[in-house]
Amino acid sequence: MRFTALIPCCLALLNACSLMKEQKKFDARAQGTSTDAAFTQTKRQEPIHPEWLKPSTKPYTLGPGDKIEIEIIGETGTRADTFVTPDSKLYFDLLPGIDVKGKPTTQLREEMEKMLTRYYKQPQVSLTLREVSSQRVWVLGRVNSPGIYPLNRPMRVLDAVTQAGGLFASSFTGTTEELADLSHSFLMRGGKMLPVDFQKLIREGDLSQNIYIEPDDFIYLPSSMTNEIYVLGAVTEPRPVGFMNEMNLITALGRGLGIRPEADLTHVTIVRGSLTEPKIATVNARDIIQGKATNVRLEPGDIVYVPGSGSMSPGGFLHDAINTFTRLVAANEGNSAGAPNATPIGLNLNIGPSSPTQ
């Protein structure tokens, strides 16, 4: 009787032990627990403005490095080629250094003629701009000759890419499709990405995307061979991280070396696809970390943006994510173009929304 009474107790104990063995400690980074996020397809947030498709009517303004040919008409031996100095000064004949920064050649000519009346009778100045160096366009990435080029004539996006030698072609296939990631290519002006769709422009020949370039525009065509995810925003080190097989959101956040105290983990934004018409998903990473929600799978090229608490700009999290991505890439690529051995930027980059002046 005693032995029979012990049987139910033993069975209960064995079942409890079995359940304890089967129960696994929750790991938010575990690959097998990941699912796909609910993405929403967005539409182009800003159109191509008609004025961008017209050459600028603003006169050229002088700056450091510009070469100018100057002569006082009728005065033998006054013809000279001179350069604007790094501090934006121009030196000619008996005149002291003239500050020419931001002045068109017509204004400079008038000022010189007025100043030269101290030494000549009714002087007439001939002034010709021979070389342009102060106004430039940056063309970097998967082009044959990436670099900084003088903007010495009215130039469109395709003109700038052509000046940089065109898209880099594969030595095996002779094509550029697998080398330039046109969906993540962008043009920045004044710290802001313009809505130029490089896929439509280069692959489909849509010339409505072929806008005119302005001084200091930044064009970047990344490599499609890059297997990275960008972890940006309120993380300890905003940066691109190498994509690993079946990578998920929590793993990617960990590769950003930690979350900053002001991070809003309830609105982590994932941007996927074209920068001009991307897909977007907003994920509550806090629930995932606490085991209340399933982890989310990522794909190469995804942008993971962790906003700061209360930092959303009028354009929303999508605007902030793309703006932070383009600013980080432009800063790193521009830094590398000027100093090839420079340390990549990320830690000290301002991850908040851009100001209205940007």
Task: Look at residue 137 and tell me whether its pLDDT is greater than 90.
Answer: yes
Q: What confidence score (pLDDT) does residue 202 get?
A: 92
Q: What confidence score (pLDDT) does residue 315 get?
A: 58
- Among 221, 238, 257, the domain boundary falls at 221
- 285 close to 253: Cβ distance less than 8 angstroms: yes
Q: What is the DSSP string of 150-164?
A: E--S--BHHHHHHHT
Q: What confidence score (pLDDT) does residue 214 get?
A: 94
Same domain, 237 and 334: yes
Q: What confidence score (pLDDT) does residue 169 get?
A: 72
- Among 189, 221, 253, the domain boundary falls at 221
Q: What confidence score (pLDDT) does residue 105 get?
A: 93
Average pLDDT of the chain, as a whole number? 82
Q: How far apart are the first and last CA of the chain?
A: 86
Same domain, 241 and 263: yes
Task: Look at residue 6 and tell me whether its pLDDT is greater than 80.
Answer: no
Residue 346 falls within a domain, yes or no?
A: no
Residue 18 falls within a domain, yes or no?
A: no
Cα separation, 213 vs 132, in Å, equals: 15
Q: Which residue has the higher pLDDT, 2 or 151?
A: 151
Tell me: the pLDDT tens digits for 288-320? 989 999 999 999 889 999 988 776 654 588 888
Q: In total, how many domains does the chain have?
A: 3
Cα separation, 248 vs 191, in Å, equals: 31
Cα–Cα distances in Å, from 233 out to 11, 141, 352? 54, 24, 7
Give pTM, 2 decimals.
Answer: 0.76
Residue 27 falls within a domain, yes or no?
A: no
Same domain, 216 and 236: no
Stretch among 173-182, 192-201, 268-277 having the lowest mean pLDDT: 173-182
Task: Look at residue 159 and tell me whether its pLDDT is greater than 90.
Answer: yes
CATH of the domain at 91: 3.30.1950.10
Residue 1 falls within a domain, yes or no?
A: no
For 52, phi then psi, to 5°, come to -70, -20
Q: What confidence score (pLDDT) does residue 355 get?
A: 41
- 299 close to 204: Cβ distance less than 8 angstroms: no
Q: What confidence score (pLDDT) does residue 174 get?
A: 53
Residue 148 falls within a domain, yes or no?
A: yes
Task: Look at residue 350 and tell me whether its pLDDT is greater than 50.
Answer: no
Cα separation, 157 vs 202, in Å, equals: 10
Task: Look at residue 236 and tell me whether its pLDDT is greater than 70.
Answer: yes
Same domain, 142 and 208: yes
Predicted confidence band of residue 276 (pLDDT cuts 50, 70, 90): confident
CATH of the domain at 185: 3.10.560.10
Same domain, 190 and 147: yes
Stretch among 90-99, 102-111, 322-331 having the lowest mean pLDDT: 322-331
Task: Look at residue 3 and tell me whether its pLDDT is greater than 50.
Answer: no
Helix H segments across 192-279?
Answer: 198, 249-255
Average pLDDT over residues 68-73: 96
Residue 97: closest CA among 107, 80, 86, 105: 86
Average pLDDT over residues 326-349: 62
Task: Look at residue 331 and tell me whether its pLDDT is greater than 70.
Answer: yes
Residue 249 falls within a domain, yes or no?
A: yes
| Percent of the residues in the chain that have a pLDDT greater than 90, as a whole number | 47
Q: Which two tokens stand for residue 92?
A: 């000619």
Tell me: the pLDDT tens digits for 86-101? 999 999 998 999 999 9
Same domain, 119 and 142: no
Tell me: the pLDDT tens digits for 27-45? 444 545 678 888 888 876 6
Same domain, 89 and 192: no
Same domain, 301 and 329: yes
Same domain, 311 and 234: yes
Residue 6 falls within a domain, yes or no?
A: no
- Among 131, 150, 171, the domain boundary falls at 131
Same domain, 113 and 159: no
Q: Is 232 exposed, middle or buried (0-12, 13-18, 19+ CB in 10 A)?
A: buried
Domain that holds residue 260: 35-44+227-338
Q: Is 298 exposed, middle or buried (0-12, 13-18, 19+ CB in 10 A)?
A: buried
Q: What confidence score (pLDDT) does residue 217 get?
A: 95
Same domain, 211 and 268: no
Same domain, 100 and 139: no
Task: Look at residue 17 and tell me whether its pLDDT is greater than 50.
Answer: no
Residue 15 falls within a domain, yes or no?
A: no
